[in-house]
Amino acid sequence: MVKALMVVLLVVIMAPLLGGLLTGIDRVLTARMQGRVGPPVLQPFYDVLKLLGKEALAANRRQVAWALGYLVLIIASLALFCLGGDLLIIVFTMAFAAGSFVLGGFSVRSPYSHIGSQRELLQMLAYEPVLILLALGVYLQTGSFMVKDLFHQSQPLLASMPLVFIALLIVLTIKIRKSPFDLATSHHGHQELVKGITTEYSGPYLALIEVTHWYELVLLLGLAAMFWTHPLGAGILLALAAFFIEMVIDNICARLTWNWMIKFTWTGGIILCLINLGVIWVLRAGGV
């Protein structure tokens, strides 16, 4: 119990530092890829600190409550993940968090945040099946939905679920709001005409959302690291590599429409998962 609390505390403190730093590195590397110098690595922290000091503007209380819900629920899923909890529950809690974000956007009668929310919903529709299938794949491979049981595996998950990993990369593109799938909103490194789902947030409330994105980034990279648990260092490298791939994709792609996104994920992503799970299932049924 005490140990669990310590882990949670560590997560709450360390994850945003890590996530903010990664975001900063992302911005610098992106700038370099575009032949620019880019901001300081600590730029995301400056941004959030500044936002914290700004005047609070909001439409109503529920808008703020849902944004807070987004933060708290993402922290909860990350904590569950770090405690080695049930993957399906982690995915469902993440869905609640994303839903909370969507409802925050819906809480104001504003055309821009509404369109953002609708698109975020479509993004959820696009990635949710892949995430659940990922959990199912982990179960088929290891016989357990628990993250902590992955550490008893001799063979990295990547060896048996390479296609699911590719599908996860697609999910990552959507979840960390990278082109071609940054439909609902993008990060502040992107210069936008209008910000989509976060349009009606400002000041400290926007800071809340930014910090949530940091937590979320760590959680998502954690999911990627899960594919190689022995040694964990390899998993971390894998996650960082995945993050780098996302950056490259972001810089070479234009934004696409939501129709395309749904088609792409529901055919490409889900079929990748299916083939992979099918192979595992057949191998297992064959007693290999």
Partner 1 sequence: MELINKSRVKSPWLLHYDGSSCNGCDIEVLACLTPIYDVERFGIINTGNPKHADILLITGGVNKKAARVVKNLYEQMPEPKVVVAVGVCACSGGVFHDCYNILGGIDRVIPVDVYVPGCAARPEAIIDGVVRALQVLAAKTDKEAVV
Partner 2 sequence: MITGKYLVAVSIWLPVAAALLCWLGQSYSLRNIVSYLTGIILAVCALGLFLSGPFDYQPGEIWGLSWNTAISAADFALLALILYIGWRQRHKLIIILAAIQALLLICFDFGLGGSEIEPVPAFAVDHLAIIMALIINIVGSLICIYGVKYIAEHEEQHPVAKSRQPRFMFWLIIFLGAMNGLVFANNLYWMYFFWEVTTFCSFQLIGHDQSDEAIGNACRALWMNSLGGAAFALGLVILLRYGGGDYLSMQYLLSHHTAAGATGAILLAVSMLVLAGMTKSAQLPFQSWLLGAMVAPTPVSALLHSSTMVKAGVYLILRLAPVYAGTYLSSMTAIAGAFTFLAASVLAISQSNAKRVLAYSTVANLGLIIACAGINTPTAISAAIVLIIFHAVSKGLLFLCTGYVEHEIGSRDIEAMEGLADRLPAAATIFTIGIISMFLPPFGMLVGKWAAIESAAQLPLAAFLLVLASAVTALFWLKWLGRMLEGRPGAIAQREIMDSHYIASLGGLTAAAVLLSIFIGPVVNSMVTPAVTQYYFSPGLEANLETIAAGSGGLFSVWPLFILLALIAVAAGFLYQPRKVKNPPVYLCGENAGLPESTVFMTTGENMGEVKLSNYYFTGFLNEARWSRVVNRVGLIMILLLLGVTLW
The site for partner 2 (CB under 8 A) is made up of: 55-62, 64-65, 68-69, 72-73, 76, 80, 83-86, 88-89, 92-93, 95-96, 99, 102-103, 105-114, 117-118, 121-122, 124-125, 128-129, 132-133, 136, 139-140, 145-146, 194, 199-200, 204-205, 270, 274, 277-278, 281
Q: Does 288 bind partner 1 (CB under 8 A)?
A: no
Decide: 126 and 260 in contact? Cβ < 8 Å.
no
User: Concatenated DSSP letters for 258-279?
Assistant: HHHHHHIIIIIIHHHHHHHHHH
Q: How far is the CB of 153 from partner 2 (least distance, A)?
A: 17
Q: How far is the CB of 34 from partner 1 (least distance, A)?
A: 6
Rounded CA separation 142/121 (Å): 31
Task: Please select the residue that binds partner 1; options are 10, 14, 148, 192, rule is CB under 8 A.
Answer: 192
Please choose, from the candidates 284, 273, 279, the residue with its C-alpha nearest in 3D space to the C-alpha of residue 134.
273
* 60 counts as binding partner 1 under rule CB under 8 A: no
Task: Among 5, 10, 49, 241, indicate the residue that binds partner 1 (CB under 8 A).
Answer: 49
Q: Is 111 in the site for partner 1 (CB under 8 A)?
A: no
Tell me if 191 contacts partner 1 by CB under 8 A. Answer: yes
Q: Segment near partner 1 (CB under 8 A), from 147-155, 173-181, 197-205, 244-252?
A: 197-205
Torsion, CA 147, CA 227, CA 163, CA 288, rounded to 10:
-80
Binding part of the chain for partner 1, among 144-152, 193-201, 235-243, 279-287 by CB under 8 A, reads 193-201
Closest to partner 2 by CB, 62 vs 230, is 62
The secondary structure of 150-219 as a DSSP string is: GGG-SS-HHHH-HHHHHHHHHHHHHHTT-TTS--S---TTS--SS-GGGTT--THHHHHHHHHHHHHHHH
Burial class (CB in 10 A: 0-12, 13-18, 19+), 279: middle
In the list partner 2, partner 1, none, the entry touching 89 (Cβ below 5 to 8 angstroms by class) is partner 2
Number of residues that bind partner 1 (CB under 8 A): 36
Q: Which helix (H) or strand (E) holds 229?
A: none
Angstrom distance (rounded) from CA 67 to CA 69: 5
Query: What are 86's strand-pairing partners?
Result: 146
Residues that bind partner 1 (CB under 8 A): 27, 31, 34-40, 43, 45-50, 52-57, 188-189, 191-195, 198-203, 206
